[in-house]
Chain A
Amino acid sequence: MVQKKINIKNKLLRYFPLILLYFSVLNEFDIDVASLGLFSFNLPFIIIFYWSLRDPDHIGNGLIFISGILNDVTLGYPIGLSSFIYLIIIAFASYLRNITLRPSTYKDSLIFLIAILFANSVNASILSFIFAIEINFFEIIANILFTFLLYFLFARIFNYLKPMSV
Chain B
Amino acid sequence: MASGRDDFIIAVRSAFLKKSNKQQFSLLALIIFSIVLIFLSNLNFVGIKYIKIGVNEATYRLSAIVSYPEKKLNESINFFTEYFHVYKENQNLKDQVNKLNIDRYNYIFLENENKKLKELIGEDQYSVDGIISKVLIDKDGKFLKSIILNRGSKNGIIKGMVVLENDYLVGQIIEVNYTTSRAILVSDLNSNIPVVLEPGSFQSILSGSGKNYGKIKYSKNKLILDENTIVYTSGSGGNFRAGLPIGKINNDIEEFAVEFFSDLSQLSYVKIQSIEGSKE
Q: Spell out A's residues near B (CB within 8 Å).
A: 23, 26-28, 30, 32, 34, 40, 56-57, 60-62, 65, 68-70, 73-81, 83-84, 87-88, 90-91, 94-95, 97-99, 123, 126-127, 130-131, 133-136, 139-140, 143
B34 and A99 contact, CB distance less than 8 A: no
Which residue in chain B gives the minimum CB-CB distance to A73?
A: B59
> Which residues of chain B come closer than 8 Å to A91, judged between CB atoms?
15-16, 27, 31
Contacts of A79 in B (CB 8 A): 37-38, 40-41, 48, 51-52, 55
Q: Is the CB of B141 within 8 A of A76?
A: yes
A-B contact count (CB 8 A): 154
* Cβ A57 vs Cβ B22 within 8 A: yes
Q: How far is the CA of A69 from the CA of B42 in the complex (A)?
A: 15
Once A26-B67, A140-B142 are accepted as A-B contacts, the answer to whether A70 and B22 lie under 8 Å apart by CB is: no
Nearest residue, chain B, Cβ from A90: B27
Q: Is B175 an interface residue (CB 8 A)?
A: yes
CB proximity of B72 to chain A, nearest CB, Å: 13
Residues from chain A with Cβ under 8 Å of B16 in the complex: 91, 94
Partner of B34, one of A83, A94, A135, A140: A83
Chain A residues within 8 Å of B182, by CB? 76
> Does A26 contact B63, Cβ atoms closer than 8 Å?
yes
Q: CB-CB contacts of B1-16 with A at 8 A, as 1s and 0s?
A: 0000001001110111
Contacts of B35 in A (CB 8 A): 80, 84
A69–B59 CA distance with the chains assembled, in angstroms: 10
- Residues on A with C-beta less than 8 A from B27 are 61, 87, 90-91, 94
Contact B144 A77 (CB under 8 A): yes
Expressed in whole angstroms, the Cα–Cα distance for A135 and B41 within the complex equals 20
Instruction: Please give 14 more A-B residue pairs, beta carbons under 8 A apart, in addition to A60-B23, A83-B30, A91-B31.
Output: A27-B63, A27-B66, A27-B70, A69-B55, A70-B59, A77-B141, A79-B38, A79-B52, A79-B55, A80-B41, A87-B31, A135-B142, A136-B189, A139-B210
Asked if B143 and A135 sit within 8 Å, CB to CB, the answer is yes
Cross-chain contact A98 with B11 (CB below 8 angstroms): yes
B18 to chain A, nearest CB (A): 8
- Judged by a CB distance under 8 angstroms, whether B251 is at the interface is no
**Would you call B246 an interface residue if the criterion is a C-beta within 8 Å of the partner chain's C-beta atoms?**
no
User: Chain A: which residue is nearest B11 at the CB level?
Assistant: A98
Cβ of A74 and Cβ of B137 under 8 Å apart? yes
Q: Which residue of B lies closest to A92 (CB)?
A: B15
Q: Is the CB of A75 within 8 A of B139?
A: yes
Question: Which B residues touch A95, using CB under 8 A?
Answer: 11-12, 15
Assess the A75–B24 pair: CB atoms within 8 A: no
A-B contact pairs, 8 of them (CB 8 A): A26-B67, A28-B139, A65-B25, A70-B62, A74-B60, A79-B48, A91-B15, A95-B15
**3 tightest CB-CB pairs across the interface, nearest first?**
A80-B37, A94-B15, A84-B34
The smallest C-beta distance from B185 to any residue of chain A, in angstroms, reads 11
Distance in angstroms from B245 CB to nearest chain A CB is: 23
Contacts of B21 in A (CB 8 A): 57
Q: A23-B66, A83-B37 are in contact. Are A130 and B42 (CB under 8 A)?
A: yes
CB closest residue in chain B, given A22: B66
Q: Which residues of B contact A77 (CB under 8 A)?
A: 141, 143-144
Q: Given that A77-B144, A79-B37 are known contacts, is A26 also in contact with B14, CB under 8 Å in the complex? A: no
B141 contacts A81, C-beta separation under 8 Å: no
Which of chain B's residues have a CB closer than 8 A to the CB of A30? 139-142
Known: A69-B55, A99-B11. A76 touches B20 (CB 8 A): no
